[in-house]
Amino acid sequence: MQARHLIEKKYRLLQEVIFPQLNQERIFFKYQSAWTKKQRLWARNFFHTELVPVLTPIALDPAHPFPKVINKSLNFLVTLQGQDSFGRKPHLAVVQAPRALPRVVRMPAHLESTGETCFVLLSSFMQAFVPELFTGMEVTGCYQFRVTRNSDLFVSEDDMTDLRSALQGELSTRHLGDAVRLEVASGTPAELIQRLRVECDLNESDCYQVNGPVNLVRLFQVPDLIDRPDLKFVEVKPTIPKILLDEKPIFDIISQQDVLLHHPYESFLPVLILLRQAAKDPQVLAIKQTVYRTGDDSQVMDALMEAAKNGKEVTVVVELLARFDEQTNMQWAAKLESVGAHVIYGVIGHKCHAKMLLIVRKEPITKGRGKGKYVLKRYAHLGTGNYHPRTAKLYTDFGLLTSHSQITQDMHFVFQQMTGTAIQPTLATLWQSPFTMQDEIIRHIRAEIRTAKSGKKAAIIAKMNALLEPSVIQELYRASQAGVKIDLIIRGVCALKPGVPGLSENIRVRSIIGRFLEHHRIYYFLAQGEEQVYLSSADWMDRNLYRRVEVAFPILDPEIKARVIREGLQILLQDNASAWIMQSNGSYQQILSRSKLKKVGQQELLQLIQKK
């Protein structure tokens, strides 16, 4: 029922808020009933030249059973009367719209009134002209529908000898998995909905009637089709830390001090510069990197391939089971192997979700008794987000550039463990899932409990996407009962209930929903006044703590630590423009609804900070 309520609310907002506000700005979605004669002529021509050549109407009869429509494709169920040239009398037909077809089409400017911007939905073309796909028959109805299918991939560890080959076989059938949800346009006759449910083997509770397009995600393209800067976010121009603007090689800078990158306010470019310089630098011997998501067009992968071509020892841990990026990652794996890079597919049963880049460089000793000899030095990048330049412009994430010997040594051990068969090493600085991270989180929470019981100030602040792991939640409840002040910034699902008397009255939970997707994970412990801050790619969920390879890394530089606390935590706790506060019953209230204070939007404030 909650999912149904959310769907209804989403479409109500579309029809009652978004569309009317667009109309006020003279931006219209034109349905056929509102087309002028010239607009209708254009629409009919578009239908025949752009749509008809790739549409395949399937009339249902004994020779043409109901097709198994692919996952999340747009389809139309057409009701018919009459007899075709073969003497058949089909009553139903299905028309599948290929993914390549645009779901939203901008009308030519000469057909728009002055100052107007007009769009036509693909469903409107179909509603208007679908009879022309069934000449000689009478079309009595045309109804859009969409089926969501189970897209999980199943790979048996017992029978598998090559993960990439096994996945390649599974991917070809992913889009035809078992149906789990049916979406139909409102107004679809009950008997047709029943037919679709039977064909999909779904219950009534699995069917959703929607008042609008069955896939609202396709509307994301609309802002790019409208030239109205006044209606859009002001463009964010990521900055580059001043220390990196120096013309010195980036290795010289990182060898002297750690550098923090805060995306999307700061550019992802320094990571690319580090990789590109490493690929060309004759002193660089080896590069090791994890890849979870990186995109179809990746400058990161281009740099790694260039490094391999230049004779560097390149090892890439590619996670082939990154959901919905499996095909892309397999293609990159093949390209990397073709230029001599070592490609490892992680650990079966444990997705490699850690974000790590390690570079080994041979450097001359210029002073002391070792002068004239060489030493091997490691340089690293650790992050909370993927090596994906596009999402670095949309997600909030931290990245750390460092040459700290203990951190890079720990990274070396983790890479060795993933690529070889080493037993769990003792790490000096990093927490690692599935081995030590959960234990370390619990240990640090309990340290705060002991501090609070001794009468001293104790505090925990944690920011992440989701909080679900039961043992961590129980420890947080115990910490609250002991008097530890706890602030949780959880963007998504949170199984902990704050503010419950006698259980969690010292816990506050907020979710920040703004322009950028809040993505960095930050763990803060007051630790008797000596603040400890860890960054990670891991949420406090079962999958992150037990079924993935993750790392959490400490922020050791005092200035960088203060900056992470300020930009990643404190400013978010002051936000009263995009913050939602979780109530003790699990519901959320937007903070502005009960505040008359001046609006403080943390994402906007951070943009101003980075410009200074």
- Among 192, 88, 96, CA closest to 136: 88
Question: Can you point out the beta strands (E) in 326-439?
Answer: 342-344, 351-352, 356-364, 374-383, 395-402, 431-433
Say whether 426 sits in a helix, a strand or coil: coil
Is the Cβ–Cβ distance between 555 and 569 less than 8 Å?
Answer: no
Q: How far, CA to CA in Å, does 547 sit from each of 170, 348, 541?
A: 21, 10, 10
Q: φ, ψ for residue 432 (rounded to 5)?
A: -130, 130
Is the Cβ–Cβ distance between 351 and 546 less than 8 Å?
Answer: no
CA distance 318 to 353: 10
Q: Count of CB atoms within 10 A of residue 354's CB?
A: 28
Which residue has 């929607």 as its token pair? 210
- Confirm whether 350 is a catalytic residue: no
CA distance 251 to 359: 10
Catalytic residue among 263, 350, 353, 519: 353
- Among 537, 464, 523, 463, CA closest to 291: 537
CA distance 551 to 295: 22
- Among 220, 205, 222, 262, CA closest to 535: 262
Range 143-175 burial, b when 16+ CB lie within 10 A, else e: bbbbbbbeeebeeeeeeeeebbebbeeeeeebe
Order of strands, sheet of 92-97, starting from the edge strand that comes earlier in the sequence = 56-59, 92-97, 74-81, 138-149, 179-185, 207-210
Does 53 sit behind a cis peptide bond, omega within 30 degrees of 0 on the bond before it?
Answer: no
| Dihedral over Cα of 120, 122, 123, 124: its sign | positive
- List, by residue number, the catalytic residues: 353
